[in-house]
Amino acid sequence: MRLGRLSSGVLLMLLWGVDVHAQGLRDVLSDRRSARSATQLGAELLADLPYGTHARQRLDVYRPLQARSAPILLMVHGGAWSKGDKRMGRVVDNKLARWLPQGYLFVSVNYRLLPDAKPLQQVEDIAQALSYVQQHAPQWGGDPQRVVLLGHSAGAHLVSLLSADGAIAKRHAVQPWLGTVALDSAAFDVDSIMRGKHYRFYDQAFGAEPKYWRAASPYWRLQPVGVPLLAVCSSKREEACRQAAAFAEHGKQMGRVVQVLPQALSHGAINQQLGEPGPYTDAVETFFKHVGVTPKP
């Protein structure tokens, strides 16, 4: 049958089938690449473990083969709350290369995205994923008490929000973790962002209700008791370090430990280059040591 004679419905079904097949092939290739990378680093990949019922509520565990009570790094990808994936090279590659050989167990998390879930639902996913990791860590050779959260961009906003208000973690029976690293969030105070000139994607994420803006703001949700937080910010993005500094000052007034680490790197490089040898990675590792997240001899 000639293509020109196909009905629009049949053509749509055929194209959809091709797209599904292509996505499936990409998933298979991604699985193989990630598993191969883990093997080369003396580790194994436990892929797409479900921490919820939605297709996006999946996480990958990279575990050193000899892991025994290993500290855990849990990474949350960015993507304007609407895209991104736990397998992206800039999310995992340099981090795996740095910390798997040191004996860390590394977890990379997917979560529901816009429009299926807004940020206040997404942070519930991260809390649910963290609870799942803590429950299952012993069977992977991990220590559920020695966890650090990391997140980039939108993921940095989500881990900061989870760390700011213990009520979110409590709903999912999350045990205390040791610290959080926010990689260039620029969204600590969503309320102030939305009241000024801002990118359109913020409207898609946070809507038009001031009540929601505050509820989604780590700044306004911050409680006096909670884990230490390291806010890495790009000095090439004025708003990023300004937001981080204001959040840190707010934390200081409450007695919370919030450190700011400015870096002369782009927004993307702050994510991708973490794990590469140099003073930036060294500074983040100093934070790990400060909160007590280092492999045992």
SS3 (DSSP) at 38: helix
Q: What is the pLDDT of residue 30?
A: 60
**Cβ-contact 126, 162 below 8 angstroms:** yes
SS3 (DSSP) at 81: coil
Write out the DSSP string of 219-250: HHH--SS---EEEEEETTSHHHHHHHHHHHHH
Low-confidence ranges of the chain (pLDDT < 50): 1-6, 8, 11-12, 20, 23, 25, 28
Nearest of 179, 217, 174 to residue 195 by alpha carbon: 217
Q: What is the pLDDT of residue 271?
A: 98
Beta-bridged to residue 70, according to DSSP, are 142
Q: What is the pLDDT of residue 224?
A: 97
- Pairing assessment for the beta strands 43-50 and 58-64 based on DSSP bridges: antiparallel
Q: What is the pLDDT of residues 2-12, one digit of tens each?
A: 434 445 455 44
Residue 18 CB partners (closer than 8 Å, separation 6+): none
Q: What's the pTM value of the predicted model, to 2 decimals? A: 0.89
Written as six digits, the tokens of 114 are 């816009």
- Report the distance separating Cα 114 and Cα 83, nearest Å: 8
**Helix count (H) and strand count (E) of the chain?**
12, 8
**Cβ-contact 64, 43 below 8 angstroms:** yes
Q: How far apart are the first and last CA of the chain?
A: 68
**Residue 15 burial (10 A CB sphere; 0-12, 13-18, 19+):** exposed
Helix (H) or strand (E) holding 156: helix 154-164
**Cβ-contact 233, 264 below 8 angstroms:** no
**Cβ-contact 81, 100 below 8 angstroms:** no
Q: What is the pLDDT of residue 141?
A: 97
Q: What is the pLDDT of residue 38?
A: 87
